[in-house]
Structure 1
Amino acid sequence: MLFYYIKLAIYSLKRTPLLSFLMISTISIGIAATMITYTVSYMMNKDPIPSKSERLFTVHLSTWGIDNMYRMRDGKEEIPVFVTYQDAMNLYNAQKAPKQTIIGSYKAMTRSSEQPVKDATSTYIRSTTYEFFEMFNTPFIYGSGWSASEDEEGAQVVILSKKRNEKLFGGQNSIGKEVLIGGILHRVVGVFDDWPLIPRFYLEEFDALTEVRDMFVPFRTQMNNEWVASKDSSIYCWGEFELSDFHSVINSECVWLYFWIELESAEHRDEYLDFVNNYAQEQRLLGRFQREQMNRVLDVNESINHSNVMGDDSKVAVWLAAAFLFACLLNSMSLMMTKFHGKGGEVGLRRAIGASRQDIALQFGLETFIVGLLGGIIGLGLANLGLLVTAEVYSHLNAELMKMNIEIVITTLLLSIVTSTLFGLYPIYRACKIEPSSQLKSL
């Protein structure tokens, strides 16, 4: 019997091709617009590393002087998300967490050792310690991270992104090959695989949605080469300093390094925060940390919320897309009412020969289900096309933000089917209320 009603529903759609096309198109456009904005929003806000997001923490210190503030947030004084070089080294060397890592940044001209000088490109490079790769579940195609001994000595080694490896070495295994960074030869020890860590929570909000850096080197290597420049990374300073002088920067109160730790469990956070507060008090006695102490130890999701990666504009866009979908569904409902009203004679005849109101509701319900399914499938295609265009327009953002996962695909189809069925209930109700006698007289 169900198969019979499906046949009736398909036949009904074929009999009114224009109305059917308009209903399906209206739903598919609304679904596409909604899912484009929802996909970007979902990818921005999902837990990027659920296996350990409650055990990874970033450390923020109240390092500013008495006459200096980092910035204001919601009318209150804010503290930096960065730490100074001396604080990063003090916390790192204390080894109070099972794992900790320092994350820096700089820019240099880079090329493979086989390329001519004219092919060198200006590259933003990420510097870090060897624990970084295990802490953040970094996937490798070739090789691995550098060793603890290479980290300590500041070896001239480099890890390439998959994209940069393809540009320099055609995507082949490049372990052992050499890359020139700032005129200094670095040996390739690893190549990242695709790394769907979105957002990159270990960075500031404007970096969290960008592609992974093309090259990673040991933090000690950056320090040994004295590669620090204010124009190449975010640096905020107070007191006496000279940004053009390397030693002045690392001995100053300039904050420019991220510091992350991994604890055995979330329950150890308070213990580590006590250590941080005690450290801050020691520094205060030495004449540093002169402002109110608001030191923080934030886990991954708290850090994402604090950085406001999503942004208010994106939230507004999602609501506007939802409003557009609602308008599309209202239009589709109007078209359904027109279609079902035009089938009054057919309904009256079927009722006269024994069909119940439940039979009529089932037939038209299946018709709205098919409309929603087709609208969802077409909307899914339009949404993916829209995401491709968005990825081209916003090429500075991570391309992974513009890709639907299986959860979003299923959500898209279900949203289309459920909403079209819900908005079809009233037209179906009106059709079921048609009296056979009134319609048979007009036949």
Structure 2
Amino acid sequence: MLGYYLKLAFISLKKTPFLSFLMIITIAIGIGAAMTTYTVSYLLAKDPIPSKSEKLFNVRLNSFGPDKPFNIAKGKEVPPTILTYQDAMNLQNAQQGVRQTPLGSFKMMTRGITQPVTEAKMTAIRSAYRDMFSMFDVPFKFGGAWDEVADKEGLQVAVISQELNDKLFLGENSVGKSLLIGESSYQIVGVTDDWYPIPKFFDYRVRAYNKPRDIIIPFNTQINNELWTSSDVSFLCWKEPSDDSFSAILASECVWVSYWVELASEADRSRYLDFLHRYSMEQREYGRFLREPLHQLFNVKEDLVDRKVQKEDGNIALWLAFAFLGVCLLNCMAMMVAKFHTKTGEVGLRRAVGASKQDIVAQFSIETCIVGLLGGGLGLLLAQFGLVVTAQLYSHLYAEMLEMTFGIVVMTIVLAITSAMAFGLLPILHAAKVQPSSQLKSL
């Protein structure tokens, strides 16, 4: 019977091509708009590191001056999300967490050893301790993180991205080879595999949806070589450095280093907060930390919400998109009523020759499912087009990020079919109530 109903459905669609096309395109437009919005909202709100999000914490200390709070939010003083160099190194040397790392950044012209200077590219570079790779679950395609000696002494080694490895070394294993950062040679110790945490929780808000940086070097290497790009860091001071030298920046009360710690449990979180309190009291004795001893540990989710990278409340745009889908489906339902009304004679004749109401419902349900399936397929194409347009309109979102997952594709098709069936149920039941006698009289 299924084959027979499919044949009847396609015959019916061919008999009313314009009306059938309108129903399909109406569903497609609604599905396309809803799924474009849903995909963007899903990707922007997802947990970037679900296995660790409750164990990784951004450390915040209230190190600003006595007469100048960092910020007042909702009537309460809040500390900066970044630390001074000396505080970051003091916490690093204390080793109170399972793992910990400061994060720095700068920009420099980079190129392969054999490339001419004219082919050098300005590259954003991350600096960190080797713990970063384990903390943030960074996968490796070749090699791995540098060793503890490179961390301590600030050796000129680097981990590069797969994308940069493809450009410089045509995708081959480049471990042991070198590249130039500025005029200095750095030995490659590792190549990361595909690694695009969304959002990039450990970076500044404006970069949260950018690609991870192509080069990572030891934090002390940046310090030893005085690699500094003021435009690449959030550099905030309550008291200006004594001069413009790099050493003055390191000794200053200016905050610019992001600091993350991994803790195993809530009990460890409490112990680390106690450690931060003791540290702030100790620094007060040295004439620092003269404001309220306010210190905070925000895990990944808390940090993203606090910095307004993600929103706690629902996404209004998502609700509006699905409301628009509802309007499209209501219009489609009206067209189904009109379409099935023109088939009352056919229904009456089928009833007269023995078809039951259930047979009529099954016939029109198959036709409605086909309309929903075609609308969902076209809606997928419109949604993908919408994602391409979104990536072009919002430069902070990279195109590779805005891709529909297999699960979203399946959900789109299922949503299209079930929505078409839900809104087509009333017209189908109405058509099935046609009495054969009333139609046979008109023949």
- Tell me the alpha carbon deviations over residues 277-305 of structure 1, each in whole angstroms, 9 at most, x when there is no partner: 22223223333223334422122222222
User: Structure 2: which 5+ residue stretches go unaligned?
Assistant: none
Change in Cα spacing, 1:24 to 1:130, as seen in structure 2 (3 Å) is: same
Contact 2:196 2:212 in 1 (8 A): no
Contact 1:44 1:401 in 2 (8 A): no
Give the match for residue 144 of structure 1.
Answer: 144
- Tell me the alpha carbon deviations over residues 336-370 of structure 1, each in whole angstroms, 9 at most, x when there is no partner: 11111111111222233333333322222222222
The one-letter code sitting in structure 2 at the alignment partner of 1:151 is D
User: Structure 1: which 5+ residue stretches go unaligned?
Assistant: none
Change in Cα spacing, 1:312 to 1:46, as seen in structure 2 (3 Å) is: closer
Give the match for residue 295 of structure 1.
Answer: 295
Distance 2:199 2:168 in 1: 27
Distance 2:439 2:267 in 1: 72
Distance 1:218 1:369 in 2: 58
Distance 2:7 2:19 in 1: 18
Give the match for residue 373 of structure 2.
Answer: 373
Change in Cα spacing, 1:337 to 1:161, as seen in structure 2 (3 Å) is: same
Contact 1:230 1:243 in 2 (8 A): no
Distance 2:243 2:354 in 1: 89
Change in Cα spacing, 1:384 to 1:267, as seen in structure 2 (3 Å) is: farther
Alignment of 1:343-358 (within 5 A): 343-358=343-358
Give the match for residue 193 of structure 1.
Answer: 193
Distance 2:76 2:435 in 1: 68
Give the match for residue 270 of structure 2.
Answer: 270
Contact 1:240 1:252 in 2 (8 A): yes
Distance 1:243 1:210 in 2: 33
Distance 1:59 1:107 in 2: 25
The one-letter code sitting in structure 1 at the alignment partner of 2:94 is A
- Runs of 4 or more consecutive aligned structure 1 residues displaced over 4 Å after TM superposition: 311-314
Contact 1:211 1:396 in 2 (8 A): no
Matched, 1:158 2:161: no
- Tell me the alpha carbon deviations over residues 68-125 of structure 1, each in whole angstroms, 9 at most, x when there is no partner: 2333444543321111111111111111111111111111121122122222222111
Distance 2:5 2:96 in 1: 69
Give the match for residue 117 of structure 1.
Answer: 117
- Tell me the alpha carbon deviations over residues 347-395 of structure 1, each in whole angstroms, 9 at most, x when there is no partner: 2222333333333222222222221122112212322233234334445
Give the match for residue 405 of structure 2.
Answer: 405
Which moved further from structure 2: 421-430 or 281-290? 281-290
Give the match for residue 100 of structure 1.
Answer: 100
Give the match for residue 12 of structure 2.
Answer: 12
Distance 1:271 1:419 in 2: 52
Distance 2:74 2:3 in 1: 60
Task: Provide the secondary structure at the position in 2 that maps to 1:361.
Answer: helix
Give the match for residue 65 of structure 2.
Answer: 65
Task: Provide the secondary structure at the position in 2 that maps to 1:287.
Answer: coil
Distance 2:277 2:362 in 1: 67
The one-letter code sitting in structure 2 at the alignment partner of 1:15 is K
Task: Provide the secondary structure at the position in 2 that maps to 1:401.
Answer: coil
Residue 266 of structure 1, CA deviation: 4.0
Distance 1:267 1:419 in 2: 48
The one-letter code sitting in structure 2 at the alignment partner of 1:213 is R
Residue 268 of structure 1, CA deviation: 2.2
RMSD: 2.2
Distance 1:267 1:337 in 2: 63
Change in Cα spacing, 1:13 to 1:76, as seen in structure 2 (3 Å) is: farther
Contact 1:39 1:401 in 2 (8 A): no
Contact 1:196 1:400 in 2 (8 A): no
Matched, 1:128 2:128: yes
Distance 1:268 1:282 in 2: 21
The one-letter code sitting in structure 2 at the alignment partner of 1:95 is Q
Matched, 1:86 2:86: yes
Residue 313 of structure 1, CA deviation: 12
Distance 2:22 2:9 in 1: 16
Change in Cα spacing, 1:89 to 1:424, as seen in structure 2 (3 Å) is: same
Contact 1:162 1:191 in 2 (8 A): yes
Distance 2:265 2:389 in 1: 42
Residue 174 of structure 1, CA deviation: 1.8
The one-letter code sitting in structure 1 at the alignment partner of 2:148 is A
Distance 1:22 1:391 in 2: 29
TM-score by length of 2: 0.93
Give the match for residue 39 of structure 1.
Answer: 39
Which moved further from structure 2: 58-67 or 5-14? 5-14
Distance 1:342 1:235 in 2: 71
Distance 2:269 2:227 in 1: 33
Matched, 1:217 2:217: yes
Which moved further from structure 2: 354-363 or 126-135? 354-363
Contact 2:88 2:259 in 1 (8 A): yes
Q: Structure 1 vs Structure 2: percent identity of aligned residues?
A: 53
